[in-house]
Chains A and B, each alone.
Chain A
Amino acid sequence: MAWRDVSSVRNLAIFLCAIAACVLAPSVVRHFVDGLFEEFRAPIDAIPSQLNDLGKYWSLHSNSKRSLIEAGRDLARINSAYELKMLENKNLQDRVARYEDILNLPPEDSYKFEVARIARRDINAWWQQMVIRKGRVHGIKEGYAVIYSGGVVGRIAKANLYTSVVELVSSRNFRMAAHFDGEDRPVIYQGAGAVSLQDAKGEVRDVPGDVRASVSEPRLLVTSALTGTFPEGIRIGEVVDLSLGADGLFKSGTVRLGRALSTLREVTVLIPISEIGK
């Protein structure tokens, strides 16, 4: 009987210790290690991605001369097309610079594009984020915009030395000002969190009552310069339904995000030119 009492008290003490540890340990541990763990395990995240790159390199290395010649010929054609585009781009840039000079406009804020490979994806009910293989040493800081060819990917949530955590556009924690393509009235966009496989969604709120959208006639939602971190006009997703809210003034609806979000291999971090060197 006495042994059972001792065992009861011991179990109760263990349980109370567990609760105390949950209350105190996270903040205490974070206070002392402060990102040390992330830096320590960064190579573990990066190794599978780098091994994948290496595997791809050796698989290309084993290609026959004939296929390499063919690939080189195709690349030469693409390069010549790009050279023409570059000339065109330079002419347009010169023209913009001349107009700025004539109209006495301040130069437009521009960004340096830092391309980064994805090392790990955490897309689940708890987190909607990914880890990229570039960090503070590459000039990346918290809050910077992350995009891909299809539009917005997310925002840098945490910048470690060699890796960064990107909060995805589908995350509940991701919220930004946006507007519909061709309009300038701002609306609020927020990620919808975890949904079914490969079907990322978001929500749009504070939409003026006269705006309409449906599955057959979706409206394109783009970033607004009001956010500060994203340049104007980058695609967020398509609004596929809008309904009037309880206040009867504004509408809210669902935003269909790009399906490629969950299969991305590379993203681009936008580093403001004004921040470089700081």
Chain B
Amino acid sequence: MIKTFDIKIPLILLLNLLYVFILSTLNTEISPYVYVMLPAVFIVPPALFLNFAPAMFVVAFSALINEVVMPVRTGLVCALWLVCAYVVHNQRFRFRNFDTFSIISLMLVLNFCILFLYALLLPNGCAGVAEYFYRVAIDISISSAVLIAVAKFTVSLPADIMRFLGADISVAEGD
């Protein structure tokens, strides 16, 4: 599966764990009003920078860790994230130059699709259907606004850290 050790794997894994921590803290404080969900942040960097098997491993691990803090069907969430990671990984060369607009578009579309599927496949208790869709709409809108602010940052952060450590990384060439 993973033929050679790649420092990017533990780095992106660690970053994803820290994102889980940041989002959990944020959501613990603000969840009575809105719930920020950013699955794209966990999927796009590994799918762009890592080879196929490590990318799938990191995304699956992140999905399971991410869903531990939220009592929903983790298997389904993990499968959904893996499908999205597969799609992004196959299209990674289109985002080789890390153009800000294309990265934000990619993450927004990915995030919206995942949240929409969450809303359809993983409905959680609510006072009624109307209230549920109102809440989902608010969550998706706020999550998208937050994502626009952090999308480029989260994609460039692994590259920035590697550059700080003295190595340049780019879109994965393997597989």
Name the contact of B157 in the complex, choosing from A15, A26, A196 (C-beta under 8 A): A15
Which of A51-59, A117-125, A221-229 forms part of the interface with chain B?
A117-125
Determine the distance from Cα of A195 to Cα of B157 in the docked complex, in whole angstroms.
36
Assess whether A126 is in contact with B27, with CB atoms less than 8 Å apart.
yes
B71 at the interface (CB under 8 A from A): yes
Distance between A119 CB and nearest chain B CB, rounded to angstroms: 12
Assess whether B156 is in contact with A11, with CB atoms less than 8 Å apart.
yes
Chain A residues contacting B157 (CB-CB under 8 Å) are 11-12, 15
B97 at the interface (CB under 8 A from A): no
B174 at the interface (CB under 8 A from A): no
B175 at the interface (CB under 8 A from A): no
Assess whether A124 is in contact with B31, with CB atoms less than 8 Å apart.
yes
Assess whether B27 is in contact with A194, with CB atoms less than 8 Å apart.
no
Chain B residues contacting A122 (CB-CB under 8 Å) are 31-32
Assess whether A12 is in contact with B164, with CB atoms less than 8 Å apart.
yes
B29 at the interface (CB under 8 A from A): yes
Which of A66-74, A76-84, A197-205 forms part of the interface with chain B?
A197-205
B68 at the interface (CB under 8 A from A): no
Determine the distance from Cα of A193 to Cα of B126 in the docked complex, in whole angstroms.
12
Is chain A's binding surface mostly helix, strand, loop or mixed?
mixed
Chain B residues contacting A262 (CB-CB under 8 Å) are 125-128
Assess whether B131 is in contact with A8, with CB atoms less than 8 Å apart.
no
Which of B17-25, B57-65, B104-112 forms part of the interface with chain A?
B17-25
- Size category of the A interface is 35 or more
Binding site for A on B (CB under 8 A): 18, 21-22, 25-29, 31-32, 35, 70-72, 123-129, 131-132, 135, 153, 156-157, 159-161, 163-164
Assess whether A124 is in contact with B163, with CB atoms less than 8 Å apart.
no
Chain A residues contacting B163 (CB-CB under 8 Å) are 4-5, 8
Determine the distance from Cα of A198 to Cα of B123 in the docked complex, in whole angstroms.
10
Excluding A11-B160, A126-B70, A262-B126, 10 further A-B contacts by CB distance (< 8 Å) are A5-B164, A14-B153, A19-B18, A19-B22, A123-B126, A125-B35, A127-B31, A194-B125, A197-B128, A263-B128
Name the contact of A128 in the complex, choosing from B70, B125, B135, B161 (C-beta under 8 A): B125
A47 at the interface (CB under 8 A from B): no
Q: Which 3 A-B pairs have the closest CB atoms?
A: A8-B160, A22-B25, A126-B31
Chain A residues contacting B131 (CB-CB under 8 Å) are 121
A18 at the interface (CB under 8 A from B): yes
Determine the distance from Cα of A113 to Cα of B156 in the docked complex, in whole angstroms.
58
Name the contact of A123 in the complex, choosing from B28, B71, B125, B160 (C-beta under 8 A): B125
Assess whether A126 is in contact with B153, with CB atoms less than 8 Å apart.
no
Assess whether B128 is in contact with A198, with CB atoms less than 8 Å apart.
yes
Assess whether B128 is in contact with A125, with CB atoms less than 8 Å apart.
no
- Residue of A with least CB distance to B163: A8
Task: Decide: A124 near B153, CB < 8 A? Known: A8-B163, A19-B18, A26-B25.
Answer: no
- Residue of B with least CB distance to A118: B127
Chain B residues contacting A196 (CB-CB under 8 Å) are 123-125
Chain A residues contacting B18 (CB-CB under 8 Å) are 15, 19
Distance between A141 CB and nearest chain B CB, rounded to angstroms: 21
Assess whether B126 is in contact with A124, with CB atoms less than 8 Å apart.
yes
Name the contact of A198 in the complex, choosing from B35, B125, B159, B160 (C-beta under 8 A): B125
